[in-house]
Chains A and B, each alone.
Chain A
Amino acid sequence: MKRLKTEYVAGGGLIDRRSLLAGGVSFLAATTIRPVVAAIEGDKTIAEDFPRWTKTLAGQGSPYGEPSRYEKSVVRKLLLPAAPENAGTSAWLTPIDQLQGIITPNGLHFGSYHYGVPEIDPNKHELLIHGLVDRPLKYTVEHLLRYPMVSSTRFLECSGNTAINAMSPFTGNETCQDLYGLVSCSEWVGVRVSDLLSEAGLTKKARWIIAEGADSGSHSRSIPVSKMLDDGIIALYQNGERLRAEQGFPMRLLLPGWEGNTNVKYLSRFEVTDRPAFTSHESGLYTEHLTSGHAEGFSFHMEVKSAIMHPSAGQLLNEKGFYEISGLAWSGRGKISGVDVSADNGVSWARAQLQGPVHDKALTRFSIPWRWDGESTILQSRAIDEEGRVQPTRKVWKQKYASPTFNHYNAIQAWQIDKDGSVSNVFV
Chain B
Amino acid sequence: MSLYKSARWCCLLLSLVAPIAGYGFGESVNLGTPLTEAEIERVDITIFPNGHNLPVGRGSVTEGRQVYFERCALCHGDSGTEGPSHRLTGSVGLFSIWDPLRIKRIQEVNGLLVMSTGQQWPYATTIFDYVRRAMPHVNPKSLSNNQVYAITAYILYLNELVDESFTVDRTNLPSIEMPALKRFVRAK
* Chain A residues packing against B (C-beta within 8 Å): 81-83, 85-86, 88, 115, 128-130, 135-140, 143-144, 146-148, 167-170, 192, 194-200, 202, 210, 212, 216-218, 220, 229, 269, 271, 273, 275, 277-280, 283-284, 287, 289-291, 293-301, 398, 402-404, 406
Cβ A218 vs Cβ B45 within 8 A: yes
Cβ B85 vs Cβ A404 within 8 A: no
Cβ A218 vs Cβ B133 within 8 A: yes
Given A403-B96, A404-B95, answer yes or no on A169-B140 (Cβ-Cβ < 8 Å): no
A to B CB contacts below 8 Å, 20 in the list: A82-B84, A85-B74, A86-B75, A130-B40, A135-B32, A139-B31, A148-B23, A167-B106, A168-B106, A169-B103, A170-B103, A196-B32, A199-B29, A271-B44, A273-B48, A277-B49, A279-B130, A283-B121, A283-B122, A403-B96
Q: Does B134 contact A (CB under 8 A)?
A: yes
Of the listed residues B32, B85, B99, the one surrounded by the most CB atoms of chain A closer than 10 A to its CB is B32
Count the B residues whose beta carbon is within 8 Å of the partner chain — how many? Answer: 63
Cβ B95 vs Cβ A402 within 8 A: yes
Closest chain B residue to A115 by CB distance? B134
Cβ A280 vs Cβ B121 within 8 A: yes
Which chain A residues border B125 with CB–CB below 8 Å? Answer: 278
Given A169-B103, A199-B28, A269-B43, answer yes or no on A298-B187 (Cβ-Cβ < 8 Å): yes
CB of A385, distance to nearest CB on chain B (Å):
16
Closest chain B residue to A114 by CB distance? B134
Q: Does B39 contact A (CB under 8 A)?
A: yes
Cβ B35 vs Cβ A137 within 8 A: yes
A355 and B19 CA atoms in complex are apart in Å by: 34
Q: Does B6 contact A (CB under 8 A)?
A: no
Which chain A residues border B109 with CB–CB below 8 Å? Answer: 404
Given A85-B75, A167-B106, A278-B126, answer yes or no on A146-B121 (Cβ-Cβ < 8 Å): no
Q: Does B1 contact A (CB under 8 A)?
A: no
Q: Does B114 contact A (CB under 8 A)?
A: yes
A402 and B95 CA atoms in complex are apart in Å by: 6
* Nearest 9 A/B pairs, CB to CB: A137-B32, A83-B84, A299-B187, A217-B134, A136-B35, A143-B31, A280-B130, A283-B121, A284-B120
Which B1-45 residues sit within 8 Å CB-CB of chain A? 18-23, 28-35, 39-40, 43-45
CB of A358, distance to nearest CB on chain B (Å):
25
Given A136-B34, A280-B129, answer yes or no on A297-B186 (Cβ-Cβ < 8 Å): yes
CB of A162, distance to nearest CB on chain B (Å):
15
Given A277-B46, A297-B184, A403-B97, answer yes or no on A129-B32 (Cβ-Cβ < 8 Å): yes
Which chain B residues border A81 with CB–CB below 8 Å? Answer: 84
Given A220-B46, A278-B122, A283-B126, answer yes or no on A404-B33 (Cβ-Cβ < 8 Å): no
Given known contacts A216-B140, A269-B43, A299-B187, what 9 new A-B pairs fall within 8 Å (CB)? A86-B137, A129-B35, A199-B30, A217-B133, A218-B133, A218-B141, A275-B48, A278-B126, A284-B115
CB of A286, distance to nearest CB on chain B (Å):
10
Closest chain A residue to B33 by CB distance? A138
Closest chain B residue to A196 by CB distance? B32
Interface string of B65-90 (1 = CB under 8 A from A): 00000000011000000011100000
Which chain A residues border B39 with CB–CB below 8 Å? Answer: 128, 138
Cβ A403 vs Cβ B106 within 8 A: yes
* Chain B residues packing against A (C-beta within 8 Å): 18-23, 28-35, 39-40, 43-50, 74-75, 83-85, 94-97, 99, 102-103, 106, 109-112, 114-115, 117, 120-123, 125-126, 129-130, 133-134, 137, 140-141, 180, 183-187
Which chain A residues border B46 with CB–CB below 8 Å? Answer: 210, 212, 220, 271, 277, 279
Closest chain A residue to B112 by CB distance? A86
Which chain B residues border A83 with CB–CB below 8 Å? Answer: 83-85
CB of A223, distance to nearest CB on chain B (Å):
13
A299 and B185 CA atoms in complex are apart in Å by: 10
Cβ B114 vs Cβ A284 within 8 A: no
Which chain B residues border A197 with CB–CB below 8 Å? Answer: 19
A408 and B186 CA atoms in complex are apart in Å by: 15
Which chain A residues border B33 with CB–CB below 8 Å? Answer: 137-140
A194 and B114 CA atoms in complex are apart in Å by: 40
Partner of A280, one of B20, B40, B134: B134
CB of A262, distance to nearest CB on chain B (Å):
12
Cβ B85 vs Cβ A86 within 8 A: yes
Closest chain B residue to A225 by CB distance? B19
CB of B123, distance to nearest CB on chain A (Å):
5
CB of B90, distance to nearest CB on chain A (Å):
14
CB of B161, distance to nearest CB on chain A (Å):
15
Cβ B140 vs Cβ A217 within 8 A: yes
A300 and B32 CA atoms in complex are apart in Å by: 30
Given A168-B106, A284-B117, A284-B120, answer yes or no on A192-B22 (Cβ-Cβ < 8 Å): yes
CB of A234, distance to nearest CB on chain B (Å):
12
A406 and B33 CA atoms in complex are apart in Å by: 43
Cβ A128 vs Cβ B43 within 8 A: yes
Cβ A403 vs Cβ B28 within 8 A: no
A151 and B30 CA atoms in complex are apart in Å by: 21
Which chain A residues border B134 with CB–CB below 8 Å? Answer: 115, 216-218, 280
Cβ B19 vs Cβ A277 within 8 A: no
Closest chain A residue to B84 by CB distance? A83
Closest chain B residue to A290 by CB distance? B185
Cβ B19 vs Cβ A404 within 8 A: no
Partner of B94, one of A169, A170, A280, A404: A404
